[in-house]
């Protein structure tokens, strides 16, 4: 049994029916990298409305996003302060009822998170102070509170975090675990402010999903598999985590000494005793805002690479240590996710992957990922390869133009052997590689937007290294600060770019 027939009869069969067991084409976009005529220094939720129009005009039907979780000021979208809360830095302030301001930020080649949030936070505090009563009395706000039981405690956590000058909760005084009524009264306005921000975020992202649905565009959310050590989750439910270990990655092509992400390990037995309620809440949130979701580092559901906090990533080992436990653990967790949430999950399994893991995912009908520079041949594969996503680069790798310049060894695409590797990637070569990425055996074909903009000099940076989003294993202002050269409005107006992409994905 092959192809769509196999997928529709797999454990994920109903999930495939929701998205369609056929070829899907799309772009991967960090929301923070967008900008529009109305946005303030960073990509905003409502910028996605114009991007949906652009994607539809290109003949595509998927927008893959990086995580949108609240990070509490950290620029990395994978440093989640909450598994449920959205990041208010992405709010489109101009859309708030009665909002009026002439404030602006100078255009910068990279995102200045501190300046952006300083301005937005000031404007939001002023706005909420002016409209507090009408917001709290609105039926929409009341409905939001009823549907989000977690938000009041999360707002308390955020208020306490500010009260204790943003130091990690492990250094807060013991009484902070159960704040006195007097302290909660002192923090009342800040707690209300944090709840209202989440209310605004939910309204705007819900509007985006509705618009995407109306235009037959699928939004793919990103479920960061881990949360920050200083997160609301570890503060509220510390028994669900093992804070004695940090999770990371062993040495690989992109991080020679491995990676220590300084995020805590899960206590899976505690999660299971709780009926995986914490995970189910995360999936309920994803269901509201997305049509399918990517499980970041799905390998962690089978086994995590763990290191002592502060140590190098190379100084670690896998947990569970017994390899015979990996498949039963990961399969059980994936089955729980399939049974609880109707959205199709896609597992990001780049790295050192035991062959049994992608086979286990495919047996359930869950797509895995095919990073094309590491594969050969691109257009052939095994029976279940349709349950996969093909792409040329990721937010953690070089874009194609930089990769072409820096990797001179034999590569996946047979055409490479006919081309000079001593010259920059030409337009025709770039076009050929993009076209091949859209015609593999996978059912999903998704590349970062930079890969298409890179075809045109006026839409991309001269130095392709400037188009990289993140360099794994490093901490610097460069990471997570990339901004596209064209605005959303310019993308919508660029008929040549749209025509080029439409022709790329046409059947060959």
What are the residue ranges spanned by the domains of the chain?
83-215
pLDDT digits (tens, 9 = 90+) for 404-422: 888 765 444 544 445 555 5
Give Cα 400 to chain centroid, integer Å.
20
User: Got the DSSP string for 75-144?
Assistant: S-TTS-S-SS-B-GGG--GGGSTT----------SB--HHHHHHHHHHHHHHHHHHHHHHHHH-HHHHHH
For 169, the token pair is 């909760």
Q: SS3 for 368? A: strand
- Bridge pairing between strands 344-347 and 292-295: parallel
Tokens of 390: 């093909």
* Alpha carbon of residue 164 to chain centroid: 29
Per-residue pLDDT, 508: 72
Q: Residue 284: enclosing H or E segment and its boundaries?
A: helix 277-289
Q: Which H or E run contains 25?
A: strand 24-29
Distance CA 143, CA 259 (A): 42
Token code pair at residue 494: 């660029």
State residue 482's pLDDT score: 98
* Strand pairing category for 317-319 and 304-307: antiparallel
The runs of H, that is alpha helices, within 392-485 are 400-406, 427-437, 449-453
Residues of the chain falling short of pLDDT 50: 1, 376-384, 410-412, 414-417
Q: What integer pLDDT is reported at residue 408 of this predicted model? A: 62
Sequence-separated (6 or more) residues with CB below 8 Å from residue 12? 338, 344, 345, 364, 365, 366
Average pLDDT, the chain: 92
Distance (Å, whole) CA 325 – CA 318 = 11
Closest listed residue to residue 448, CA positions, set 388, 397, 499, 384: 397
Nearest-angstrom CA–CA distance, 399 and 396:
9
Q: ω before 253 within 30° of 0 (cis)?
A: no
Closest alpha carbon to 384 in 124, 19, 97, 21: 21
Tell me phi and psi for residue 263, to 5 degrees.
-120, 150
Give the number of other CB atoms < 10 A from CB of residue 329: 15
**pLDDT the model gives residue 407:** 73
Q: Is the pTM of this model over 0.85?
A: yes
Strand partners, 24: 444
In DSSP terms, which residues pair with 369 in a beta bridge?
389
- 389: which DSSP letter? E
Question: Would you state the pLDDT for residue 254?
Answer: 67
Instruction: Give pLDDT, residue 417.
Output: 47
Compute φ and ψ for 317, nearest 5 degrees: -155, 170
List the structure tokens of 108. 């910068």
């Amino acid at each position: 049994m092959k192809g769509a027939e196999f997928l529709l009869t797999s454990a994920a069969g109903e999930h495939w029916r929701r998205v369609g067991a056929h070829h899907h084409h799309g772009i991967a976009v960090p929301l923070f990298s967008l900008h529009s005529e109305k946005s303030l220094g960073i990509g905003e939720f409502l910028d996605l409305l114009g991007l949906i129009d652009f994607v539809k005009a290109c003949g595509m039907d998927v927008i893959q996003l990086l995580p949108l979780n609240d990070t509490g000021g950290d620029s990395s979208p994978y440093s989640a302060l909450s598994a449920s809360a959205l990041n208010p830095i992405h709010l489109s302030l101009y859309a708030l009822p009665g909002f009026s301001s002439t404030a602006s930020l100078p255009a910068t080649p990279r995102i200045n998170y501190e300046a952006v949030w300083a301005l937005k936070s000031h404007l939001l505090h002023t706005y909420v102070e002016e409209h507090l009563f009408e917001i709290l009395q609105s039926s929409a706000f009341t409905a939001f509170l009823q549907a989000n039981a977690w938000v009041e405690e999360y707002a308390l956590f955020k208020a306490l975090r500010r009260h204790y000058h943003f130091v990690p909760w492990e250094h807060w005084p013991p009484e902070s675990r159960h704040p006195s009524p007097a302290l909660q009264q002192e923090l009342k306005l800040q707690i209300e402010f944090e709840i209202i921000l989440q209310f605004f975020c939910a309204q705007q992202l819900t509007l985006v999903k509705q618009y995407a649905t109306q235009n037959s565009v699928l939004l793919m959310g990103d479920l960061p598999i881990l949360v920050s050590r200083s997160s609301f989750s570890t503060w509220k439910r510390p028994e669900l985590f093992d804070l004695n270990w940090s999770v990371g990655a062993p040495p690989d092509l992109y991080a020679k000494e491995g990676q220590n992400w300084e995020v805590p390990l899960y206590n899976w037995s505690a999660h299971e005793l709780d009926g995986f309620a914490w995970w189910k809440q995360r999936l309920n949130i994803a269901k509201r805002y997305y049509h399918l979701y990517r499980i970041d580092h799905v390998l962690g559901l089978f086994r995590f690479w763990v290191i002592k906090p502060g140590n190098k990533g190379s100084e670690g080992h896998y947990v569970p240590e017994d390899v015979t436990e990996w498949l039963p653990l990961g399969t059980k967790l994936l089955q729980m996710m399939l049974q609880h949430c109707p959205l199709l999950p896609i597992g990001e399994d780049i790295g050192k992957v035991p062959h049994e893991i992608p086979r286990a995912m495919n047996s359930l009908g869950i797509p895995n990922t095919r990073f094309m520079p590491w594969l050969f041949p691109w257009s052939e594969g095994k029976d279940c390869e349709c349950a996969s996503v093909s792409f040329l680069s990721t937010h953690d790798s070089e874009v194609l133009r930089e990769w072409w310049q820096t990797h001179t060894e034999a590569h996946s695409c047979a055409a490479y052997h006919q081309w000079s590797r001593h010259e920059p990637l030409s337009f025709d070569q770039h076009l050929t590689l993009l076209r091949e990425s859209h015609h593999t055996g996978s059912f999903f074909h998704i590349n970062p937007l930079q890969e298409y903009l890179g075809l045109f000099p006026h839409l991309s940076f001269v130095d392709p290294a400037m188009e990289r989003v993140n360099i794994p294993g490093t901490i610097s202002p460069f990471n997570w600060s990339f901004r596209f050269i064209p605005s959303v409005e310019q993308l919508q107006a660029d008929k040549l770019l749209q025509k080029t992409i439409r022709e790329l994905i046409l059947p060959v």
